[in-house]
Amino acid sequence: MLIQDLYRKIFTTWFDEYQNETRYGIKGKLIITEQSNYQKITIIETKKYGKALLLDNCWMTTEKEEKSYHESLVHPALSTAKEIRKVLIIGGGDGGAVRECLLYNEVKHLDLVEIDNRVIELCQEYLPGLGGIAWEDPRLNIKIKDGVKWVMEAKDQSYDVIIVDGSDPKGPALGLFNKEFFQNCHRILKTGGVFATQSESPKTFLNIHLEMLKIIRQIFKYAEPLYGNVPIYPSGYWSWIFATKDKPRYLEPIPQRTEGIKTEFNIWSINWQRHAFKAMPAYLEKLINK
C-alpha cells in the first residue's frame, strides 16, 4: 500500500447529506468546520472532487464539479439578456457564479449580495480557484447583506440580470423561495432582463421545484425550467428556472456575445442551451402542464 493511500485510509471519513432517509456521501478529510452567525460551514478534501463545501451538512460545491452547476445557472441568462451591464447575484459566496459572470466584458457592474461573510472568507482561503481572479475584478462589489432585504430596497428596473445562487430552503436561504422575494426580483429587473435561480432537484425536492415554478410563473410573463446534472447534489439531477418580462429570450443565446469566451465552457454551449430547455422528461411535463 502506498504511503498516501495509507494516510488517506486513516484520515478520511464519510461526509453525508441526509434527505428523506437517503444519504448522499463522499469520503474526505476535514479541512475546517465552523459555526458562523448563520450556518455550519464545512470544507473537506476529497479524492474524486477536489475540495468541497457543505453548508449545514448539505453539499454546495466542489472544485471539480462546480462548473456543472455554475455554468448552467449563469450562461443561459448572460448569453440572452438584452443588455448585461448591471448584474446582481444573491448568495454565491463561493465565487463560482461571479467568475462565470465576469467572463463577459459587457458586464460593467456586478453586485454580489451574500449574507454570510465567513462563506466568502473561507472559500477565498480554501477554494480560491472558484472565484479565481474575479475576486480582484474592479467590477465586483461585495455586499455582506441579506439578499431578501437587498431586493426589497433596490430601485425598480435597476438590473439587467438577477441570479439567485442560494442554498436550500431553510436557514438563511429560506426567504429566497417565497413569493414576495420573486415579486421584488421582478420589480427590480429591467424589461429586457433575465432572472435566473437555482430551483432544487426535480427528483429529491420535486414539490419545492414545482412550487417555485408555479410562483415564478404567476409573477413573470415567461418562465421555464432547465434540467441538468450536478453529481454531488441529492439524486444528481438538478434544475434552474429562467424568467423574463418581455419575451422568452432565455431560449435563444446571442452568438456574438459568447464567441470570444467559448474556450472557458465545460458544459454550456449554444446548442446545449437550445436543447436543454426542450429536454423535459415526460413525468415533469405532465406535472408542470396539468
Which position among 181, 182, 233, 277 is part of the footprint of ligand SPD (CB under 6 A)? 233
User: CB under 6 A: which stretch of 24-32, 90-98, 108-116, 243-251 binds ligand SPD?
Assistant: 90-98
Pick 60 or 148: Cβ nearer ligand SPD:
60
For 105, 222, 223, the CA distances from 214, given in Å and listed in that order, are 34, 11, 9
- Active-site position among 146, 165, 168, 246: 165
38/119 Cα distance (integer angstroms) = 10
For 13, 219, 229, 236, the CA distances from 170, given in Å and listed in that order, are 26, 22, 23, 20
Residue 191 C-beta: closest distance to ligand SPD, Å: 28
Which position among 41, 43, 54, 60 is part of the footprint of ligand SPD (CB under 6 A)? 60
User: CB under 6 A: which stretch of 55-63, 79-87, 210-218, 219-227 binds ligand SPD?
Assistant: 55-63
User: CB under 6 A: which stretch of 54-62, 118-126, 183-191, 260-268 binds ligand SPD?
Assistant: 54-62
Q: What are phi and psi of 145, to 5 degrees?
A: -150, 165
Q: Is 165 marked active-site?
A: yes
Query: 54: closest CA among 66, 44, 67, 64?
Result: 44
Q: Kindly determine how many residues on this chain lie close enough to bind ligand SPD according to the rule CB under 6 A.
A: 14
CB half-sphere exposure, 238, CA atoms < 13 A: 24
Q: Dihedral of CA 101/88/204/289: which sign? A: negative
Pick 146 or 249: Cβ nearer ligand SPD:
146
Pick 89 or 276: Cβ nearer ligand SPD:
89
Strand duo 86-91 + 40-46: pairing: unpaired
Which position among 28, 76, 92, 175 is part of the footprint of ligand SPD (CB under 6 A)? 92
247/244 Cα distance (integer angstroms) = 6
Per-residue x/- track, 105-144, ligand SPD (CB under 6 A): ----------------------------------------
Residue 15 C-beta: closest distance to ligand SPD, Å: 14
Pick 5 or 34: Cβ nearer ligand SPD:
34
Q: Which three cell numbers stand for residue 182?
A: 420573486
Residue 205 C-beta: closest distance to ligand SPD, Å: 8
Per-residue x/- track, 162-201, ligand SPD (CB under 6 A): ---x-xx-----------------------------x---
Does position 87 bind ligand SPD by CB under 6 A?
no
Q: Which three cell numbers stand for residue 150?
A: 437587498
Neighbours of 105 (CB within 10 A): 11
Which residues are CB-neighbours of 188 under 8 A, at least 6 positions away?
88, 151, 154, 155, 156, 157, 158, 159, 162
For residues 261-287, one letter each, b for 16 or more C-beta atoms within 10 angstroms of the residue's C-beta and e for the rest, the string is beeebebbbbebbeebbeebeeebeee
Query: Which residues are catalytically annotated?
Result: 165
**Interacting residue ranges for ligand SPD, rule: CB under 6 A:** 58-61, 69, 92, 94, 96-97, 165, 167-168, 198, 233
